[in-house]
Amino acid sequence: MVKVAVVTGGGQGIGEGIVKQLASDGFTVAVADLNKDNATKVAEEVGNESKGYYVDISNHDDMFKLVDDVVRDFGQLDVFVNNAGIAQIAAIVDAKPEEITKIFNINVNGTIYGIQAAAKQFKKQGKGGKIINACSIAGHQAVELLGIYSATKFAVRGITQAAAKELAKDKITVNAYCPGIVLTPMWDQIDAAMAKIYDRPLGETKQEYIDGIALGRGEEPADVANLVSFLADEKSNYITGQSILVDGGINYV
């Protein structure tokens, strides 16, 4: 039987890479994004009856509706990838209350809502399931000017551990992937903001970070997707509560 995976933030960047990999692994993929046009384009590209959906992950009801819609369309849910997230570049002393609330609503609350909605469906189906969250190197070691972002990713690591313990009895595993410097629009945004703050040319910050990678190159979405493919497969059945670094050699924990 064909398996069904949801990937939030699947319209571009790492999420798009994950959608492509899971489709080539044989999944039908529900590609969910704030940008439904992008989601639909990616879904049509990968085939396997994959489909684009609108979702705002920071909206509790949206996330439950997404799972209901996917189950109505495809009959089941097997894997839920809480990938969507945003970055913010600001010193902790300068971070504005509304910006702090926004990033926590998306990166933290959104991940919690995804776990809740997926777990509810997995429990109904009664045969377990896999929840996979987007963490980051910044969830293992905080980065200056990405302090609030780092805090959200530390939170994702904690939520991943607690949810894994709570849901193990239902055969639901919960893990996270922690990418490094992935060459997506998010890093273009970080680089542009750092260029302004440090008054340096565009590209310099990104290059500096890439120079610190042991394997000597920036990360591609496909590098992250290979780990997600494993975490979505039964080969990873005995792994839960882990936030696994996939960074080419930046952090060693």
Catalytically active residues, by annotation: 149
Region near ligand NAD per CB under 6 A, out of 20-28, 51-59, 64-72, 122-130: 51-59
Region near ligand NAD per CB under 6 A, out of 12-20, 64-72, 121-129, 166-174: 12-20
Q: What is the dihedral of CA 238, 243, 245, 251, to 10 degrees?
A: -130
Of the residues 21, 28, 58, 229, which one makes contact with ligand NAD according to CB under 6 A: 58
Q: Please, which residues bridge with residue 7 across strands?
A: 31, 81
180 assigned ligand-binding residue? yes
Footprint of ligand NAD on 169-198 (CB under 6 A): 179, 181-182, 184-187
> For ligand NAD, which is the closer residue by CB, 154 or 234?
154
Query: Residue 187, Cα to own-chain centre: how many angstroms?
Result: 15
Tell whether residue 66 is a contact of ligand NAD (CB under 6 A). no
> For ligand NAD, which is the closer residue by CB, 154 or 187?
187
In the chain, how long is the greatest CA-to-CA distance? 55
Query: Which tokens in the block code for residue 130?
Result: 């896999």
75 assigned ligand-binding residue? no
Cα gap 68→34, rounded to integer Å: 17
For the chain, first and last CA: distance in Å? 38
Q: Are 113 and 56 in contact (CB under 8 A)?
A: no
Of the residues 70, 106, 167, 225, which one makes contact with ligand NAD according to CB under 6 A: 106
Q: Are 53 and 70 in contact (CB under 8 A)?
A: yes
CB 231: neighbour CB atoms within 10 A? 23
Footprint of ligand NAD on 109-148 (CB under 6 A): 134, 136
Region near ligand NAD per CB under 6 A, out of 10-18, 68-76, 92-100, 123-131: 10-18
185 assigned ligand-binding residue? no
33 assigned ligand-binding residue? yes
Query: Which tokens in the block code for residue 118?
Result: 């997926």
Query: Which tokens in the block code for residue 136?
Result: 């980051």
Least Cα distance to 229 among 5, 1, 43 occurs for: 5
Tell whether residue 210 is a contact of ligand NAD (CB under 6 A). no
Which parts are annotated binding residues for NAD(+)? 12-14, 33, 83, 149, 153, 179-184
Write out the residues near ligand NAD by the rule CB under 6 A.
Answer: 8-9, 11-15, 33-35, 38, 55-58, 83-86, 106, 134, 136, 179, 181-182, 184-187
